[in-house]
Amino acid sequence: MAVNTILQPGEIEGSAGDIPELRLPPAALFASRAQRLKQLAEGHSLADYLRFIAVLVENQQAELDAHPEIPLPDATLLANCREYAMPPITPSGWPRHPHWQESARNLADTLYDATPAGGRESIARFLGQEKEWLESQANLLLEGRLDGLDLAAAPIIGAALQVQWTWLARQLQAHQIARHEHPNLCPVCGSHPVASMIRVGGVENGLRYLQCALCGSEWHLVRAKCSNCDNTKDIGYYSVEGGKDVVRAEACPECRTYLKVIHQDKDPLVDPAADDLASLALDLLMGEEGYAKSGINYLMIHGAGDS
């Protein structure tokens, strides 16, 4: 474990004003993530798991690429949301299109084929579920309610919802979206981040962005500041002994939560969601240190009582 508290908030940021506050998700979001998962799987103790998730994520890209046109917020709604700094496509305010269910079944079909015969039971069960069950599971997942959530089905449902919300976010333009008043919530869909990333290159060099767990949008937040409670005092950084510090946990002594910081400056191919899954050892360490995770990863939902 390594800890340092040297960095001060805003220290890295140069002249404010020209910083892109919002980066909407790129067309190849899932393809890049799948590639990163396969790279991380090499020599990893969770190699089989990471490769399994890579199959899921590769097929998220196929679903995104083939996504049909579905309704979008109109100009009036976007303008109102912008005026009041409200995210325009929150899961509770913007009705999800039933197409997500078709994506979920397509993803499950592919996983079924990619899974050895002995491990297919939960996927087969998923494929036999009714529409109403899928909708109620999606509600539980999006509302963060673990009671009644099928933990085996959650990654497939989460992956399908990510596809729809990423498609929606990609139809919007950054200037239509206002910054959310709470730095821990996505300005586009109001969801929590999966992790944050220090970017390299261009005007974003050295800047920290939080990536949305649902729609893949990224929003800027100064470094060394707790995204959960705004605290800037005594922020600590933890990493796993022997790692290359590509992934560190930014821990807040005020609210006792942490968010991972993924360093693109230490590895250009990082992906917040993929690197989060591959750094479970850091989550275990932070649990032992008494910190709760403020990031959400829809590809791995922990039950109550899991650490």
Q: Whole-angstrom Cα distance, residue 38 to residue 241?
A: 23
- Please name which of 183, 206, 179, 203 lies closest in space to residue 193, comparing C-alpha atoms: 183
CA distances from 23 to 108, 132, 178, 225, 230 (A): 30, 34, 12, 20, 21
* Binding residue (CB under 5 A) for Zn ion from 215, 222, 240, 300: 215
Q: Which two tokens stand for residue 132?
A: 């109403």
Is 163 a binding residue for Zn ion by CB under 5 A? The answer is no
Please tell me the count of residues contacting Zn ion according to CB under 5 A. Answer: 15
Q: Whole-angstrom Cα distance, residue 208 to residue 180?
A: 16
Pairing of strands 236-238, 218-220: unpaired
Is 212 a binding residue for Zn ion by CB under 5 A? The answer is yes
* Binding residue (CB under 5 A) for Zn ion from 59, 164, 228, 264: 228
- C-beta atoms surrounding 54 within 10 Å: 22
170 burial (CB, 10 Å; 0-12 / 13-18 / 19+) is middle
Q: In the bound complex, what is the minimum distance in angstroms from residue 170's beta carbon to Zn ion?
A: 11
The letter for the amino acid at 21 is: E
Asked if 261 contacts 246 with a C-beta cutoff of 8 angstroms, the reply is no
Classified as helix, coil or strand, 267 is coil
The mark string for 36-75 relative to Zn ion (x by CB under 5 A, - otherwise) is: ----------------------------------------
* Binding residue (CB under 5 A) for Zn ion from 186, 197, 198, 301: 186
Q: In the bound complex, what is the minimum distance in angstroms from residue 252's beta carbon to Zn ion?
A: 3
Q: What backbone phi and psi angles, to 5 degrees, belong to 210?
A: -95, 135
Kindly tell me which of 230 and 265 has the beta carbon lying closer to Zn ion: 230
Q: In the bound complex, what is the minimum distance in angstroms from residue 223's beta carbon to Zn ion?
A: 14
The letter for the amino acid at 250 is: E
Is 194 a binding residue for Zn ion by CB under 5 A? The answer is no
Q: In the bound complex, what is the minimum distance in angstroms from residue 272's beta carbon to Zn ion?
A: 13
Q: Which stretch binds Zn ion (CB under 5 A): 4-12, 139-147, 149-157, 218-226?
A: 218-226
Is 189 a binding residue for Zn ion by CB under 5 A? The answer is yes
Is 252 a binding residue for Zn ion by CB under 5 A? The answer is yes
Kindly tell me which of 52 and 291 has the beta carbon lying closer to Zn ion: 291
251 strand-pairing partners: 236, 258
Is 232 a binding residue for Zn ion by CB under 5 A? The answer is no
Q: Which stretch binds Zn ion (CB under 5 A): 11-19, 29-37, 150-158, 182-190?
A: 182-190
Interface with Zn ion (CB under 5 A): 186, 188-189, 191, 212, 214-215, 217, 226, 228-229, 231, 252, 254-255
